[in-house]
Structure 1
Amino acid sequence: MKLSRWLPCLDWGRHYNRHHASQDGLAALIVTLMLIPQSLAYAMLAGLPPVMGLYASILPLLAYALFGSSRTLAVGPVAVVSLMTAAALQPLFPAGSAEYIGAAMLLALLSGLLLSAMAVLRLGFLANFLSHPVVSGFISASGILIAIGQLKHLLGITASGENLLHLIPQLWLGLPAVHGPTLLIGLLSLAWLWWARAHLKGALQRLGLSVAAAANLAKAGPVLAIIAAIVAVTGLQLDQAGVKVVGAIPQGLPGLTLPTLNLDLALQLLPAALLISLVGFVESVSVAQTLAAKRRQRIQPNNELLGLGSANLASAFSGGFPVTGGFARSVVNYEAGAQTPMAGVFTAAGIALSVLLLTPLLHNLPHAVLAATIMVAVLSLVDLGSLRRTWRYSRQDGAAQVATLLGVLLIGVEAGILLGVGLSLLLFLWRTSQPHIAVVGQVPGSEHFRNVERFAVIESPSVLSLRVDESLYFPNARYLEDRIGELIASRPEVRHLVLMCSGVNLIDASALDSLEAIVERLQTAGVQLHLSEVKGPVMDQLRRSSFLDTFAGQVFISQFDALKTLAPQTTAHSPIANRMP
């Protein structure tokens, strides 16, 4: 087994050069400026001391650089995972307490172990159970829930809750106690961040900067908001007037620490850790694949599992909380020209220097500015238009997306995503339990067979050609029996039934039992069952049973051969049949 399979850094590392280093260094500088305010904000969102966001942005980036396969994915705290962390821990401990912090580190440890185990066992396919509509509904609902949850920091009031039914009444009751200076700081920060996101790049270009320089400087908008707010609070002594600030942040690099090792607590947090792992993996892989495709590169999902697993383990042992690949940061990293995961290493170095040198300067950073940073970041993830598009295309997928969104908003994060996944699976089983089964006939002058209700085709009165457009398994086995019974009862002249299996990828044990029952019933009615266009893997499966030896029919390579053998008079006048020797 090649070592580079588990250590992709060996591949890109041997070709690393000065050009790559300069590009990675520039990208790291920009991402560091973006990551500092986001890390502080997302730690606060998770109910943790802001410095833990910085801790979660150092060793995890180094670990991912070793094991991750994406050249541009930027790993660290993200909004959705921070929300899920808070949802898992707030019912158990007071936010910010020592027990809460230890449980957050344990959650990162569990997530890291689960992701690493999935990588070793090659279980990346489990993330496929989170369909795109469910993930889209979950992310949009999480964005709305996070934004509304941050209003308390913007207004300077107290409110808590894991869904809108709890949050909105508390926010309404707290309106009379709104703190004016806090609200002013929050609104100004929001206005600046929205303007900077939409217009700062253009304004800098009009001042004479190049497109690339303007785009890079525009990413520093949140940093400018933080600096201005700290200066205002310090100069006007607003912290003494009631503006809540971050306060003292420990200076120095995080030491290696053990998470809370409590078996009962670990078992309690395991379901949340699994959901965080799956959601984080889906988000990371989606971003990584999109960015890799732009450069005609590839990522390996199992390497991504190992990279994210090692990042979470590193976070757990360095005072952090669950992390994953962030969408906005990764796009910025890509657009800034990052060539390899060394950009993440340089970013980690930048964050480490910030922890060593800048933390005393963050004492007077208002919570309202961090709240505004979170709100602007997460509202860009909300895509309610996808609900209409999904519903118009597929009512079942649309229902799952709506259920996920409403579940997250009205019940809670974990319940919402479980509701969406459960409904998706139930609707899938319901949809495939009644597969499309079409009576087909020969298109004149060809070997093609099409639905008799859609095309003008040739049919044989003695041969019923039936196409099944679904794999045959336990939910639809009985439906197949009933449908064939109805068709045979309505066609007394039929003596042969040919089951066209071009759309069948699987026949499970239940469906095999149904086929045997169908053979018995048809023979009682004087009808013989045949198969056509059976795929190789399905045929291999059938050969492992006694069905092919006992059903007394034939297996034809094509439906045309079946009709030519069983009803030659039907194909006798076909131009194709006449051309055959």
Structure 2
Amino acid sequence: MLKRFFPILDWLPKYQKRDLAGDFSAGITVGIMLIPQGMAYALIAGLPPIYGLYAALVPNLVYVFTGSSRKLAVGPVALDSLIVASSLAAMKLGSLQAYIGMAILLALFVGLIQMVMGFMKLGFLSNFLSRPVVSGFTVAAAFVIGISQLKHFFGLDIGTTNSLKTLRAIFNQLGETNFYDLSIGVAAILVILGLKKLHRKLPAAMVVVVLGIIGIYFFMVNDTDVHIVGPVPKGLPGFLLPELNSGLLIKAFPTAMALAFIAFAEAMTIAKSIEEKSQQYHTDPNQELRALGASNIIGSLFQSFPVNAGLSRTAVNVNEGAKTGLASFISVIVVGLTLLFLTPFFYYLPKSVLGAIILVAVYGLIDVNYPRQLWKQQRDEFYLFLVTFLTTLFVGISQGIIFGVLFSLLLLVYRISRPHIALLGKIRGLDYFKNIDRFPDDIEQHDEILLLRFDAQLFFANVRYFENAVSKEVAKKGKAVKYVILNAEPVNYIDNSALNELQKIVRNLREKGIVFKIAGAIGPIRDILQKSDLLEVIGKENVYVRTAEAYEDCLKKMERTALQEKVSWQHR
């Protein structure tokens, strides 16, 4: 039981020395990444940079003990930070301390939701975030994050978090651009890109941080010319209970729910992709919910804002050879040592350097190939992507997720209410029944037989569509049609509304001298037919195991054995 809730008890006793080198290398590398990334993502959230290091410490440590994925790197991430910023900005909190307190309280709230979901085994709910929704949200969020960092790039004081207002304000204030900030930001981007091109594993973000600090410390005579981070508290975060406020909690609930779902969906996507490549362990969705919940809850008690699994850090973790959670533990030590001894040096760090790190990071989130692929292959899902993208970009982060999920559910309802219906025909010389639109020159023609296949369950939302399709095709064939055969192989459920409508359809057809037959119904469907008396309305003699039997019986009355009849309409 303990191993279920603390997976470290499973892998730690089996730890092998040969894994130490990979874990150590990955831990050091990811720890160095976490320092500039954590500070940069705190800046996105509208928090002092030190809180990014706090978020990289305790939550990561908690996940080492509770996470079922051994290679996931937990900490502050860009998307979650952006959602925090947009949510708290809308609350119009009166002071920086109130803003910080609410961000920490939000982490507690998110953690509690994830923990409850984990114990209720609601991990499957992440499946409602389809890939077009996640992709549309991610691409839009990348733009929003990038736009939010332009003020640091240009050295402008812009209070709004709205993307359009930010762009308008930057355009109006271009004459006030701080060219020191702009030059440093552009140089930082070029250095990061150059180092990445030179060698992917170089800690480019940490290099520009060090260069930025050295440059300001030694070469800037007047530090007011450049917007710098300023005083950064030294030492580990202290234990502090978040201040509860019922009014603010009610306001934060939609954001907390969105964060809980998005964080989990993103974490599981990353964790599953890693698991499939390694095939060394199993990732438990419900335990991941509990682990992320515990990381956020305990992290909030040590001044952390909401955290999640980081895609880039996890990728580095894997590439550097991480085998177990010991790599993340080493990353925690790196961050802890930084908090204890190195924070005074960050006083001189230019904010435009952090902005450059963020801009390079979010650029990797913009995937133009996926929407192009959707446009070519599935237009409806492209529109789903587009709705999510535009809503997130121009309306808001939380609204983008909500609209995306609602639109995807509407799309699902539309699909199941108008499923595919195929008109079938027998291939000449073969016992195959195929769509006549696909094999128009190979189908036997018999005007007295109408053969349909309904590719979905029959229920209240689509039974009228089925009825209209039958009526339409019967009208097309005219008075020649004598038999309607339903190939029911794809039908896996019939609800009460559909049963009643089917009885009406069968009786209406009979009044026109047309016999309704069913072929290929699976056992559960035969059970439903029998319980509803529909089997008696259709007639047991009109129920067949195979489409070929129903078809041949229409052309020439076939005698069936007792066993054939039993198999045709047998039920529980």
Does TM, scored on the shorter chain, surpass 0.5?
Answer: yes
Residue matched to 2:228: 245
Aligned-partner residue type, residue 513 of structure 1: N
Question: What is the Cα deviation at residue 230 of structure 1?
Answer: 0.9
Distance in 2 (CA, whole Å) between partners of 1:262 and 1:546 is 59
Distance in 2 (CA, whole Å) between partners of 1:395 and 1:252 is 53
Q: 2:475 aligns with which of 482, 489, 505?
A: 489
Aligned-partner residue type, residue 214 of structure 2: V
Question: What is the Cα deviation at residue 126 of structure 1?
Answer: 1.6
Distance in 1 (CA, whole Å) between partners of 2:332 and 2:244 is 27
Which range is displaced more, 135-144 or 438-447? Answer: 438-447
SS at match of 2:338: helix
Which range is displaced more, 306-315 or 544-553? Answer: 544-553
Which range is displaced more, 538-547 or 41-50? Answer: 538-547
1:469-488 alignment, distance < 5 Å: 469-488=455-474
Aligned-partner residue type, residue 5 of structure 2: W
Question: What is the Cα deviation at residue 156 of structure 1?
Answer: 0.4
Distance in 2 (CA, whole Å) between partners of 1:312 and 1:543 is 53
In structure 2, the CA distance between the partners of 1:561 and 1:63, relative to structure 1 (3 Å rule), is: farther
Residue matched to 2:429: 445
SS at match of 1:473: coil
Q: 1:436 aligns with which of 417, 420, 423?
A: 420
User: Given that residues 23 and 322 in structure 2 are in contact (C-alpha distance below 8 angstroms), is that contact kept between their aligned partners in structure 1?
Assistant: yes
Residue matched to 2:19: 20
Distance in 2 (CA, whole Å) between partners of 1:321 and 1:537 is 50
Distance in 2 (CA, whole Å) between partners of 1:512 and 1:422 is 29
Normalising by the residue count of structure 2, what TM-score does the alignment of the two structures yield?
A: 0.92
User: Given that residues 506 and 537 in structure 2 are in contact (C-alpha distance below 8 angstroms), is that contact kept between their aligned partners in structure 1?
Assistant: no
User: Given that residues 130 and 421 in structure 1 are in contact (C-alpha distance below 8 angstroms), is that contact kept between their aligned partners in structure 2?
Assistant: yes
Deviations 1:2-23 (A, max 9, x none): 4433332222122112222332
Question: What is the Cα deviation at residue 539 of structure 1?
Answer: 4.2
Residue matched to 1:212: none
Q: 1:304 aligns with which of 264, 278, 288?
A: 288
Q: 2:207 aligns with which of 214, 224, 233?
A: 224
Normalising by the residue count of structure 1, what TM-score does the alignment of the two structures yield?
A: 0.90
Distance in 2 (CA, whole Å) between partners of 1:380 and 1:145 is 14
In structure 2, the CA distance between the partners of 1:121 and 1:238, relative to structure 1 (3 Å rule), is: farther
In structure 2, the CA distance between the partners of 1:271 and 1:541, relative to structure 1 (3 Å rule), is: farther
Aligned-partner residue type, residue 352 of structure 2: A
In structure 2, the CA distance between the partners of 1:65 and 1:511, relative to structure 1 (3 Å rule), is: farther
Question: What is the Cα deviation at residue 225 of structure 1?
Answer: 0.8
Say if 2:338 is the partner of 1:385. Answer: no
Residue matched to 2:6: 7
Residue matched to 2:507: 520
Aligned-partner residue type, residue 135 of structure 2: S
1:67-106 alignment, distance < 5 Å: 67-94=66-93, 97-106=96-105
Residue matched to 2:407: 423
SS at match of 1:358: helix
Question: What is the Cα deviation at residue 94 of structure 1?
Answer: 4.6
Residue matched to 1:575: none
In structure 2, the CA distance between the partners of 1:122 and 1:546, relative to structure 1 (3 Å rule), is: farther
Aligned residues: 555
Question: What is the Cα deviation at residue 412 of structure 1?
Answer: 1.7
User: Given that residues 216 and 223 in structure 2 are in contact (C-alpha distance below 8 angstroms), is that contact kept between their aligned partners in structure 1?
Assistant: no
Distance in 2 (CA, whole Å) between partners of 1:493 and 1:402 is 48
Residue matched to 1:354: 338
Distance in 2 (CA, whole Å) between partners of 1:350 and 1:462 is 79
Say if 2:274 is the partner of 1:287. Answer: no
Aligned-partner residue type, residue 522 of structure 2: K
Distance in 2 (CA, whole Å) between partners of 1:432 and 1:295 is 37
Distance in 2 (CA, whole Å) between partners of 1:391 and 1:95 is 46
SS at match of 2:91: coil
User: Given that residues 40 and 51 in structure 1 are in contact (C-alpha distance below 8 angstroms), is that contact kept between their aligned partners in structure 2?
Assistant: yes
User: Given that residues 499 and 532 in structure 2 are in contact (C-alpha distance below 8 angstroms), is that contact kept between their aligned partners in structure 1?
Assistant: no
The percent identity for this pair of structures is 36
Distance in 1 (CA, whole Å) between partners of 2:276 and 2:46 is 36
Question: What is the Cα deviation at residue 255 of structure 1?
Answer: 1.9
Distance in 2 (CA, whole Å) between partners of 1:513 and 1:263 is 50
In structure 2, the CA distance between the partners of 1:311 and 1:499, relative to structure 1 (3 Å rule), is: same
Structure 2: tracts of 5 or more residues without a match: 560-572
SS at match of 1:47: coil
Residue matched to 1:189: 188
Residue matched to 1:210: none
SS at match of 1:530: strand
Q: 2:247 aligns with which of 264, 271, 283?
A: 264
Q: 1:555 aligns with which of 536, 540, 543?
A: 543
Distance in 1 (CA, whole Å) between partners of 2:144 and 2:464 is 44
In structure 2, the CA distance between the partners of 1:277 and 1:451, relative to structure 1 (3 Å rule), is: same
Distance in 1 (CA, whole Å) between partners of 2:6 and 2:531 is 41
User: Given that residues 64 and 75 in structure 1 are in contact (C-alpha distance below 8 angstroms), is that contact kept between their aligned partners in structure 2?
Assistant: yes
Q: 2:556 aligns with which of 523, 544, 568?
A: 568
User: Given that residues 22 and 321 in structure 2 are in contact (C-alpha distance below 8 angstroms), is that contact kept between their aligned partners in structure 1?
Assistant: yes
Question: What is the Cα deviation at residue 569 of structure 1?
Answer: 6.8
SS at match of 1:497: strand
